[in-house]
Amino acid sequence: MSAPYIPDDFNISHLIREATGGEIKSLQSAGRDEFRSTFSITLEDGRQYLLRLSRTSSVVLETEVNTMKYITKETSIPVPRILDAGFTTATDSSSTFYVLMEKIPGVALDTVFGTLSQPQQTAIVAQLAKYMFELFQHRFPTIGSITRQDDSSEEFAIGPIVTRPFYIDGRSKQPLHRGPFNSAKSYYLACAQRELDCCRVLFTQDSSLPGYQRNLEDVQLQVERCVGLLHDLITRCHGLDDDDKEMAPFSLDIHDIGLKNILVSRDDMAKIVAIIDWQFLSTKPLWSCARLPSWLRPSIFNHSNGESDRLSARFRAEIARLDGLDSIFIRALDSDDTRQTLDDFSDYDAFKDGFLLLPALENILATLPGQEDYAALSALLDPSTLPGRVGRINLITRGSNSMFLAMSRSVSPAPPTTNQGLHEQESSPQSEVAAF
């Protein structure tokens, strides 16, 4: 693998000296993705930091920094402290964006959670519920991602949305409508249009191979059918906006938080010391924000052992302790309805996942309103069939190997390891921002 790119005019030693007063002992690559490269820096006195540099669209890393600063300023949620952030060339916003942050000593929860005692697990879930409920109390005027009112302002605002479906796989370069959005309906309609716009880039490719062209035309029809059904679902879905005024306001949605995003203390593994990786977060309606993290919901891995039931009950009990049994958060938890299905579907790639999305949409729409065909959807995800296994894998993983995994013989998972590796804290057109 080639070494991550560092701009020639970026003086890292000077940055570290100015920000920390120390000198660099070692600088090592700590990973990269489509949007950022991460470096681990150790100083002569032993202090450790992480340096991130933008790779493609700087807006992704800028938004992550703004989100972390908002969380630090407005909540008690523990996040890494940011020492410095900006462009490598101060007068050129087209240059590389960087952020220098502290490296939190701790253990990534995904490496140890299965080895913890029940009291330790429930203590962690209770802390997470507290943090999610605290953030749930914050209200925002539109759907989008956190930005600044202007470059020199310390005041936060909501700008265009910066989430995976709008940015990954080269989509950052496409002129998609990213908001901010004044209503849930306008947001979900933009999600549907996003899939059509992104796929049209592929459909306009010319090919002299008749077989390839026919396959492309078939996929085009599938994508257009998916988008049409999404429009239908959005139009007929109850409770998106004013018809459920209690759940219509917007908050910051972190329900997708994973075990790998949570660091616990090496000395007390029942204590959360930091939540890391604030990339691709946005505001959403309350009914979308108040949902259990995926690792607390039943899945093909934990549906029969009762662990998810025990931990989700503890999560709910903590919310009730903080806000009472009539909490809006708890009522949202109980509203497992078509809106949440729509929210899940809005993140799908209609080109890659159309073979799953299309029958699922057809099943959901078959008996609306109020009579969702959950039995048909369950049949679609039947683990005894190949399409069912592919569907289930797609619901709990991200990647392109779902068919391979579904066809593979099941293998017992390797024992969890407690070895602690380096934790990974892993441009759209100008648009108006909504201050709050």
360-409 pLDDT, tens digit each:
888 888 866 555 555 555 665 666 665 566 556 655 554 444 444 444 44
Average pLDDT in the chain:
84
Same domain? For 183 and 114 the reply is yes
Q: Can you give the residue range of the structural domain that contains 42?
A: 12-102
Whether 361 is in a domain gets the answer yes
Same domain? For 317 and 392 the reply is yes
Distance of CA 270 to the CA centre of its chain: 24
Percent of residues in the chain assigned helix, strand, coil, to nearest 5: 45, 15, 40
Q: What is the pLDDT of residue 201?
A: 78
Q: State the total domains in the chain.
A: 2
**What dihedral angle (degrees, nearest 10) is formed by the CA atoms of 184, 187, 188, 194?**
180
Whether 2 is in a domain gets the answer no
Q: What is the pLDDT of residue 435?
A: 67
Q: What is the pLDDT of residue 95?
A: 78
Same domain? For 322 and 285 the reply is yes
- Pair of tokens at residue 384: 């005894």
Same domain? For 127 and 23 the reply is no
Same domain? For 146 and 226 the reply is yes
Whether 6 is in a domain gets the answer no
Same domain? For 327 and 224 the reply is yes
- Burial (0-12, 13-18, 19+ Cβ within 10 Å), 209: exposed
- Please say whether the beta carbons of 123 and 131 come within 8 A: no
Q: What is the pLDDT of residue 366?
A: 80
Whether 1 is in a domain gets the answer no
Amino acid residing at 13: S
Whether 3 is in a domain gets the answer no
Last residue of one domain, picked from the residues 71, 102, 133: 102
Same domain? For 88 and 129 the reply is no
Report the b/e string of 218-255 with b at 16+ CB within 10 A: ebbebbbbbbebbeebbeebebbeeebeebbebbbbbb
Whether 5 is in a domain gets the answer no
Residues of the chain with pLDDT under 50: 1, 303-304, 398-430
Whether 128 is in a domain gets the answer yes
Q: What is the pLDDT of residue 427?
A: 38
Same domain? For 117 and 51 the reply is no
CATH code of the domain in which 73 resides: 3.30.200.20
* Gap between the Cα atoms of 35 and 417, Å rounded: 29
Bridge partner residues of 108 (DSSP): 263
Last residue of one domain, picked from the residues 62, 84, 102: 102
Q: What is the pLDDT of residue 389?
A: 61
Whether 336 is in a domain gets the answer yes
Q: What is the pLDDT of residue 342?
A: 93
Q: What is the model's pTM?
A: 0.82
Same domain? For 127 and 85 the reply is no
Same domain? For 341 and 273 the reply is yes
pLDDT in tens, 107-158: 999 999 999 999 999 999 999 999 999 999 999 999 999 999 877 677 999 9
Same domain? For 326 and 229 the reply is yes
Last residue of one domain, picked from the residues 82, 102, 122: 102
* Gap between the Cα atoms of 71 and 75, Å rounded: 5
Same domain? For 130 and 86 the reply is no
Q: What is the pLDDT of residue 10?
A: 87
